[in-house]
């Protein structure tokens, strides 16, 4: 038998033109087979029906910074409904000349979030910075200290309220959730069953029933003469609700820890609390960071439900604006604006959680 | 611990069993104290505000109207009946919503995985956008869409022949009542039974002779054909009850209220984005090697899907899919915000009128707990069934 | 056992001037290969050299863009009927077994015969049990793949292909995902298959296996068949420098 050596014409033959370059890409991704070609044409037709009309409505025929009279005159979108009412939509009834304070608080929050995005910066100092930051944000909103004028919580509203409810909600719910998760994992039947009943009960009912409870039942629980303001009651309902979901996520993390870790910790002579604090929780909480971000996203979206118990969050201020006869009938524009705010926040968070997930995947 | 020491000599707090009992007793006492404190306060408050307790109000006259109802209801009926109306409204919107969501979500999930770049990116954009906007905001948007953007009945949009969209809701024609439709429905039930037997026969025959039977096409033929034949022999009634504009509104046909349509639209479009992700993840969870192994045995693409991919993908899909269905049901409680009389909305009105907040909120929780518990019972059963098969 | 010459029988696989690209990347360059009935070929080469892609082209798991591939007189074109026919004639064993986890071992084996060959169930099960016996695993028939060891799974995968009564068997690195102690049980099955005269194309680095059963050994690098020879000559006297380098690394 012969032994052959390779033909020398390597690199001379190119793949057929229909397989590479722009043509190849279009063929492979849009027109491979008659069915896909049909789909592409159908989608293109659909886009042709929707996009030009929408662009005309939203950008070409639209008015931006006018009064309501100009809006009545145009066929396009009336973005003026937002520009004319932006301060009320964003800050609600917060005193006009003090609105720099919630704005500053939100800036602080964004700065903290932005700085914390790298995992390498996560350390004790940052945790303290967060605590101090949250305190400063609360102070900026409420005032009454350091010469800041106090602002009644009844006047809080708009985007700061939405952020307050979700950020403080998650921060306060996390420890509760961790305790519930640990309780569910113990072998003490009474504690375990309390935790199971709590978690399943809360997860089984819609958030709105808890909000109802906070607004109509909760006052009955308190002794005579003691009242708690509406925002705080809603905040408690959100914390109780979120804690149950966090507990389930943390439980997933605890179950992901190898049995050997418990045994190794025990054999070092650590007791239950030491084992949990030093060995198990640091690992479990690291696993559950991405699902925790998902919970933050849903908590952020869920705060919009406080509209139903008449708190002036971002959605409620928008609705109030729309009930002004001058601006009636521009719901689409206003809701699209609010949707855009929600979308940007959630999209940033979910992208971040995907990035983290990838990092953690390789980091383990 | 030395083995020689007698057990009773261990100090109380060092015995894990006793310590655990102590912890649990302390917890129990704490919970009991808290419970006592709250209940005591509540009783005092109730007495002070002279609010009655108990569920007697259920039999009292409700004295409020409900916008839409599946059963006969008037303001003179009891609170119990009003609540039942709300419950049925929750059921119907969830039921239709779940069906539409599964259909739309599956289509979107498959589109997301399509090799068609345009379609896949479009599906991805849909999923991202609709997941990231609060469902309540979407409900408000659709509600405003009906009341502000859609024209009145006189300029109603004629979507399809006989289907109108205007600020009174969606209106479409239905066939006039005729006994032939009843017979056709009966024939449909019969053909379902026939298909079941046909399937058994086809499997038996294939086991015995190896010959395959085009079951899907044959079933489709029977399911459509038999009722059609019955309808034909019943006189082939084609007369439609078409909505006609008379004065300021439509007459005839069926009108679906803007509230119901907006709620359905919002819930379906929102939840479908999540279902699409579930479906995508399920299909992707089946490795590429499975498809390759099956095709290299000579199986056709349709059979590969039916025999290899789907059975494995469904195991991954069903549990999160059920929890999405439950989410849809829970989110249907947001109906209260746009004035659709679901259970929460009716219960809310009841609370306002009777002042019996505790009972009202308890009722809401119980109803949703029943939904949740039956869902988790189903999931446990399903997981156990899968485990039995795979171990 | 020593390889005997088989040149009088007609070819079962003919590949002429075949090229394949992944996008711009030229994975297979001018492949010419003729396999006769009963012939056994082992293909080796560094990873990424295109050897797996080559055998995946033979049952059209990958599409080639130039040249011809003819299997048992049927040319592989876009015609689905031909592709289906070729796939039923050609058995394939994968590196990662690819057993169907939701079916029992027996159901894995009868799936192809029942749905492709339209065999009655009873008969398909008898065939399946016969081949399970042959790969020495008959007691596991009612278990699920997840309950078997890697070596057992790979033997089931071989039996699954055999149940289709193929004319050619393709093996894509059948032992490289296995723990060392399980390699032998799989190779034993493959050797006994060879002794029965099955036409086999094996992508593998198991040189002992190549020496004992192959008629020809090929070395591929960079998408080309660099060198082919009888095993004896291939291992003792490689001609090409790249072959020498490769052999020095793995032996």
Per residue in B212-260, pLDDT (tens digit) is 888 888 999 999 999 899 888 888 777 777 787 777 777 777 888 889 9
| Alpha carbon distance B116, B111 (integer Å) | 8
Q: DSSP states of A121-159 as a string?
A: G-SHHHHHHHHHHHHHHHHHHH--STTPPP--GGG--HH
Q: What are residue B318's phi and psi, to 5 degrees?
A: -55, -50
Lowest model confidence (mean pLDDT) among A3-17, A20-34, B318-332: A3-17
| Alpha carbon distance A81, B376 (integer Å) | 46
* pLDDT on residue C202: 94
Strands B174-175 and C74-75: unpaired
B246: three-class secondary structure by DSSP: strand
- Per-residue pLDDT tens over the stretch A61-73: 777 777 777 777 7
In angstroms, the Cα distances linking C139 to A284, C142, C183 are 42, 8, 20
The reply to whether B290 touches chain C by the CB within 8 Å rule is yes
| Alpha carbon distance B292, B284 (integer Å) | 14
pLDDT band at B7, cuts 50/70/90? Answer: low
Q: Among A1, A4, A16, select the one facing C230 at the smallest CB separation.
A: A1
Contact B324, B292 (CB under 8 A): no
* pLDDT on residue B262: 92
Asked if C21's CB is within 8 angstroms of A19's CB, the reply is yes
Contact B263, B140 (CB under 8 A): no
Question: Which chains neighbour C (Cβ–Cβ under 8 Å, 3 or more pairs)?
Answer: A, B
Rounded to the nearest angstrom, the minimum Cα separation between A220 and chain B is 5
In angstroms, the Cα distances linking A131 to A126, A174, A176 are 9, 14, 17
Q: What burial class does residue A74 get, using C-beta atoms within 10 Å of its C-beta: 0-12 exposed, 13-18 middle, 19+ buried?
A: middle
The reply to whether A350 touches chain B by the CB within 8 Å rule is yes
- Per-residue pLDDT tens over the stretch C75-129: 888 888 888 889 988 999 999 989 998 889 999 999 999 988 888 999 999 999 9
Which chain C positions have a beta carbon within 8 Å of A23's beta carbon? none
Q: Among A1, A7, A16, select the one facing C65 at the smallest CB separation.
A: A16
Asked if A13's CB is within 8 angstroms of C66's CB, the reply is yes
User: Please, what is the end-to-end C-alpha distance for chain A in angstroms?
Assistant: 53
Q: What are residue B348's phi and psi, to 5 degrees?
A: -60, -45
Share of chain B above pLDDT 90, in %: 35
Asked if B292's CB is within 8 angstroms of C100's CB, the reply is no
Which chain A positions have a beta carbon within 8 Å of B331's beta carbon? 206
Residue of A nearest to B49 (CA): A220
* pLDDT on residue A1: 40
Residue of B nearest to C101 (CA): B390
* pLDDT on residue A362: 57
Residue whose tokens read 């007609």: C10
Give the A:C interface size as CB pairs under 8 Å: 51
Lowest model confidence (mean pLDDT) among A269-273, A336-340, B6-10: B6-10
Select the more confidently predicted residue: B154 or B282. Answer: B282
Which chain A positions have a beta carbon within 8 Å of C26's beta carbon? 10-11, 13, 15
In angstroms, the Cα distances linking A259 to A41, A98, A147, B322 are 56, 55, 55, 31
Residue A29 has pLDDT above 80, yes or no: no
Q: Span A186-200, mean pLDDT?
A: 88
Residue of A nearest to B125 (CA): A347
Lowest model confidence (mean pLDDT) among A135-144, A160-169, B29-38, B134-143: A135-144
Contact B73, B85 (CB under 8 A): yes
Suggest the residue from A9, A12, A15, A18 to mutate for an interface test with chain C (most C CBs closer than 10 A): A15
Which chain A positions have a beta carbon within 8 Å of C226's beta carbon? 5-6
Contact C194, C171 (CB under 8 A): no
A324 DSSP assignment: S
Residue C32 has pLDDT above 80, yes or no: yes
Strand partners, C183: none
pLDDT band at A331, cuts 50/70/90? Answer: confident
| Nearest alpha-carbon partner for B139 in B321, B6, B8, B267 | B267
Suggest the residue from A54, A206, A329, A340 to mutate for an interface test with chain B (most B CBs closer than 10 A): A206
The reply to whether A185 touches chain B by the CB within 8 Å rule is no
Q: Give the Cα-Cα-Cα angle A45, A46, A50 (nearest 5 degrees).
A: 120
Asked if C119's CB is within 8 angstroms of B208's CB, the reply is no
Asked if C224's CB is within 8 angstroms of A3's CB, the reply is no
Q: Among A29, A208, A335, select the one facing B141 at the smallest CB separation.
A: A335
- Per-residue pLDDT tens over the stretch B349-385: 888 888 888 888 889 999 999 988 888 888 888 888 7
* pLDDT on residue B391: 45
Residue B102 has pLDDT above 90, yes or no: yes
- Per-residue pLDDT tens over the stretch C201-247: 999 988 888 888 899 999 999 899 999 989 889 888 888 898 889 88
pLDDT band at B9, cuts 50/70/90? Answer: low
| Nearest alpha-carbon partner for B80 in B337, B360, B330, B373 | B360
* pLDDT on residue B2: 47
Which residues neighbour C5 within 8 Å (Cβ) at sequence distance 6 or greater? C215
Q: Among A201, A332, A347, select the one facing B128 at the smallest CB separation.
A: A347
Rounded to the nearest angstrom, the minimum Cα separation between A36 and chain C is 17
Asked if B209's CB is within 8 angstroms of C111's CB, the reply is no
Residue of B nearest to A346 (CA): B132
Which residues neighbour A139 within 8 Å (Cβ) at sequence distance 6 or greater? A145, A146, A148
pLDDT band at B5, cuts 50/70/90? Answer: very low
* pLDDT on residue B165: 84
Looking at every residue in chain A, the average pLDDT score rounds to 82
Q: DSSP states of C215-230 as a string?
A: SEEEEEETTEEEEEE-
ipTM value of the model? 0.86
* pLDDT on residue A242: 93
| Alpha carbon distance B198, B221 (integer Å) | 12
| Nearest alpha-carbon partner for C40 in C8, C88, C5 | C5
Evaluated on CA atoms A303, A306, A307, A310, the torsion sign reads negative
* pLDDT on residue B176: 80
- Per-residue pLDDT tens over the stretch B25-80: 888 899 899 989 888 888 888 888 777 777 778 788 877 888 888 888 887 888 88
The number of beta carbons lying within 10 Å of the beta carbon of residue A260 is 8
Beta strands in B204-275 (DSSP E): 240-241, 244-246, 249-251, 254-256
Q: Span B184-204, mean pLDDT?
A: 91
Q: Among B293, B298, B308, select the one facing C116 at the smallest CB separation.
A: B298
Q: Among C66, C226, C230, select the one facing A6 at the smallest CB separation.
A: C226
Question: Which chains neighbour A (Cβ–Cβ under 8 Å, 3 or more pairs)?
Answer: B, C
The reply to whether A12 touches chain C by the CB within 8 Å rule is no
Residue whose tokens read 């906070």: A214
Which chain A positions have a beta carbon within 8 Å of B128's beta carbon? 347, 350
The reply to whether A1 touches chain B by the CB within 8 Å rule is no
Q: Give the Cα-Cα-Cα angle B254, B255, B260 (nearest 5 degrees).
A: 130
B153: three-class secondary structure by DSSP: helix
Contact B94, B236 (CB under 8 A): no
Strands B174-175 and B240-241: antiparallel
In angstroms, the Cα distances linking B372 to B95, B365, B368, B369 are 15, 10, 6, 5
The reply to whether B302 touches chain C by the CB within 8 Å rule is no
Which chain B positions have a beta carbon within 8 Å of C115's beta carbon? 212, 299, 303, 307
Suggest the residue from A24, A236, A301 to mutate for an interface test with chain B (most B CBs closer than 10 A): A301
Written as six digits, the tokens of A155 are: 């006047």
Residue of A nearest to B329 (CA): A206
Asked if C24's CB is within 8 angstroms of A20's CB, the reply is yes
Residue A177 has pLDDT above 80, yes or no: yes
* pLDDT on residue B388: 57
- Per-residue pLDDT tens over the stretch A74-90: 777 778 777 778 888 88
| Nearest alpha-carbon partner for C203 in C212, C193, C214 | C214
Between the ranges A219-223, A228-232, B48-52, C186-190, where is the mean pLDDT highest? Answer: C186-190
Q: What burial class does residue C67 get, using C-beta atoms within 10 Å of its C-beta: 0-12 exposed, 13-18 middle, 19+ buried?
A: middle
The reply to whether A9 touches chain C by the CB within 8 Å rule is yes
Asked if B312's CB is within 8 angstroms of C101's CB, the reply is yes
Lowest model confidence (mean pLDDT) among A18-22, A190-194, B197-201: A18-22
Residue whose tokens read 């016969």: C130
Which residues neighbour A21 within 8 Å (Cβ) at sequence distance 6 or greater? none
CA atoms within 13 A on the CB side of B144: 19
What pTM, to 2 d.p., does this model score?
Answer: 0.85
Contact B295, B180 (CB under 8 A): no
Q: Among C65, C228, C230, select the one facing A19 at the smallest CB separation.
A: C65
Asked if C119's CB is within 8 angstroms of B298's CB, the reply is no
Interhelix angle B79-112/B310-331, rounded to 10 degrees, is 140
Q: DSSP states of A248-294 as a string?
A: HHHHHHHHTS-HHHHHHHHHTT--HHHIIIIIIHHHHHHHTHHHHHH
- Per-residue pLDDT tens over the stretch A111-155: 888 887 777 777 788 888 888 888 888 878 777 777 677 777 777
Asked if A3's CB is within 8 angstroms of C227's CB, the reply is yes
Rounded to the nearest angstrom, the minimum Cα separation between A209 and chain B is 6
- Per-residue pLDDT tens over the stretch C33-61: 999 988 999 999 888 889 999 999 998 88
Q: Among C21, C224, C230, select the one facing A15 at the smallest CB separation.
A: C21
């Amino acid at each position: 038998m012969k032994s052959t050596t390779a033909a020398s014409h390597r690199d001379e033959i190119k793949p057929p033109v229909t397989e590479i370059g722009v043509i190849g890409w279009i063929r492979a991704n849009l027109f491979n087979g008659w069915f896909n070609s049909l789909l592409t044409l159908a989608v293109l037709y659909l886009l042709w029906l929707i996009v030009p009309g929408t662009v005309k409505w939203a950008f070409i025929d639209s008015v931006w910074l006018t009064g309501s009279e100009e809006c009545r005159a145009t066929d396009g979108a009336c973005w003026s409904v937002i520009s004319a009412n932006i301060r009320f939509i964003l800050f609600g009834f917060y005193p006009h000349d003090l609105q720099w304070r919630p704005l500053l608080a939100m800036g602080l929050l964004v700065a903290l979030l932005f700085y914390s995005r790298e995992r390498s910066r996560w350390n004790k100092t940052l945790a303290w910075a967060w605590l101090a930051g949250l305190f400063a944000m609360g102070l900026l909103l409420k005032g009454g200290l350091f010469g800041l004028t106090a602002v009644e919580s009844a006047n809080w509203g708009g985007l700061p309220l939405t952020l307050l409810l979700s950020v403080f909600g998650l921060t306060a719910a996390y420890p509760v959730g961790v305790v519930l998760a640990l309780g569910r994992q113990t072998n003490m039947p009474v504690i375990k069953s309390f935790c199971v009943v709590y978690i399943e009960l809360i997860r089984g009912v819609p958030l709105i029933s808890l909000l109802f409870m906070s607004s109509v039942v909760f006052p009955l629980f308190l002794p005579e003469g003691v009242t708690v303001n509406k925002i705080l009651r809603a905040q408690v309902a959100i914390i109780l609700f979120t804690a149950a979901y966090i507990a389930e996520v943390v439980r997933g993390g605890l179950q992901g820890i190898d049995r050997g870790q418990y045994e190794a910790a025990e054999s070092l002579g650590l007791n239950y609390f030491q084992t949990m604090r030093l060995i198990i929780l640091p690992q479990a909480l690291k696993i559950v960071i991405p699902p925790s971000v998902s919970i933050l996203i849903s908590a952020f979206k869920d705060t919009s439900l406080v509209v139903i118990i008449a708190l002036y969050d971002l959605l409620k201020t928008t609705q109030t604006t729309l009930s002004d006869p001058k601006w009636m009938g521009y719901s689409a524009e206003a809701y699209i604006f609010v949707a855009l705010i929600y979308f940007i926040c959630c999209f940033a968070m979910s992208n971040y959680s995907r990035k983290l997930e990838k990092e953690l995947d390789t980091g383990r | 611990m030395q083995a020689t020491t007698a057990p009773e000599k261990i100090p109380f707090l060092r015995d894990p069993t006793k310590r655990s009992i102590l912890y649990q007793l302390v917890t129990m006492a704490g919970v009991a104290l808290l419970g006592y404190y709250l209940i005591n306060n509540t009783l005092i408050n109730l007495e002070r505000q002279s609010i009655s307790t108990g569920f007697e109000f259920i039999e009292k006259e409700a004295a409020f109207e409900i916008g839409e109802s599946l059963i006969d209801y008037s303001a003179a009926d009891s609170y119990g009946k009003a609540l039942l109306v709300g419950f049925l409204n929750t059921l119907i919107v969830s039921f239709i919503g779940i069906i539409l969501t599964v259909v739309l979500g599956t289509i979107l999930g498959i589109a997301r995985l399509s090799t068609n770049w345009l379609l896949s990116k479009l599906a991805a954009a849909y999923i991202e956008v609709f997941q990231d906007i609060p469902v309540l905001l979407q409900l408000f948007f659709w509600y405003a869409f009906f009341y502000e953007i859609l024209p009145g009945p006189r300029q109603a949009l004629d979507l399809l022949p006989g289907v109108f969209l205007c600020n009174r809701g969606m209106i479409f024609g239905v066939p006039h009542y005729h006994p032939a439709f009843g017979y056709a429905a009966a024939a449909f039930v019969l053909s379902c039974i026939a298909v079941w037997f046909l399937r058994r026969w086809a499997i038996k025959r294939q086991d015995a002779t190896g010959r395959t039977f085009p079951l899907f096409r044959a079933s489709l033929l029977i399911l459509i054909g038999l009722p059609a034949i019955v309808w034909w022999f019943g006189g082939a009634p084609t007369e439609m009850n078409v909505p006609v504009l008379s004065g300021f509104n439509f007459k005839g046909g069926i009108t679906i209220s803007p509230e119901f349509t907006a709620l359905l639209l919002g819930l379906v479009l929102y939840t479908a984005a999540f279902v699409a992700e579930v479906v995508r993840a399920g299909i992707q969870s089946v490795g590429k090697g499975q498809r390759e192994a099956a095709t290299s045995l000579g199986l056709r693409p349709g059979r590969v899907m039916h025999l290899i991919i789907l059975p494995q993908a469904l195991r991954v899909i069903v549990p999160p899919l059920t929890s999405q269905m439950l989410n849809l049901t829970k989110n249907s409680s947001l109906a209260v915000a746009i004035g659709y009389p679901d259970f929460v909305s009716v219960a809310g009105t009841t609370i306002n009128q009777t002042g019996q907040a505790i009972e009202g909120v308890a009722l809401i929780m119980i109803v949703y707990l029943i939904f949740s518990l039956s869902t988790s019972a189903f999931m446990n059963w399903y997981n156990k069934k899968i485990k039995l098969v795979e171990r | 056992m020593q390889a005997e010459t088989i040149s009088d029988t007609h070819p079962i696989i003919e590949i002429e001037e075949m090229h394949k690209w992944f996008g711009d990347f030229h994975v297979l360059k001018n492949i010419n290969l003729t396999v006769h009935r009963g012939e056994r070929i082992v293909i080796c080469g560094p990873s990424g050299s295109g050897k797996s892609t080559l055998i995946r082209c033979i049952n059209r798991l990958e599409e080639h863009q130039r040249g011809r591939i003819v299997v048992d007189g049927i040319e592989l074109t876009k015609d689905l009927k031909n592709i289906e026919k070729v796939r039923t004639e050609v058995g394939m064993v994968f590196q990662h077994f690819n057993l169907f986890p939701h079916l029992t071992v027996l159901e894995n084996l009868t799936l192809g015969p029942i749905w492709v060959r339209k065999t009655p169930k009873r008969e398909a099960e008898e065939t399946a049990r016969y081949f399970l016996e042959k790969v020495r695993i008959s007691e596991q028939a009612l278990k699920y793949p997840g309950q078997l060891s890697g070596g057992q799974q790979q033997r089931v995968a071989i039996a699954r292909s055999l149940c289709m009564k193929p004319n050619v068997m393709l093996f894509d690195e059948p032992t490289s995902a296995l723990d060392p102690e399980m390699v032998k049980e799989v190779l034993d099955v493959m050797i006994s298959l060879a002794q029965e005269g099955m036409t086999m194309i094996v992508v593998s680095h198991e040189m002992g296996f190549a020496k004992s059963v192959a008629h020809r050994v090929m070395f591929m690098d960079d998408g080309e068949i660099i060198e082919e020879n009888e095993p004896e000559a291939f291992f003792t006297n490689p001609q090409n420098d790249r072959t020498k380098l490769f052999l020095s690394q793995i032996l």
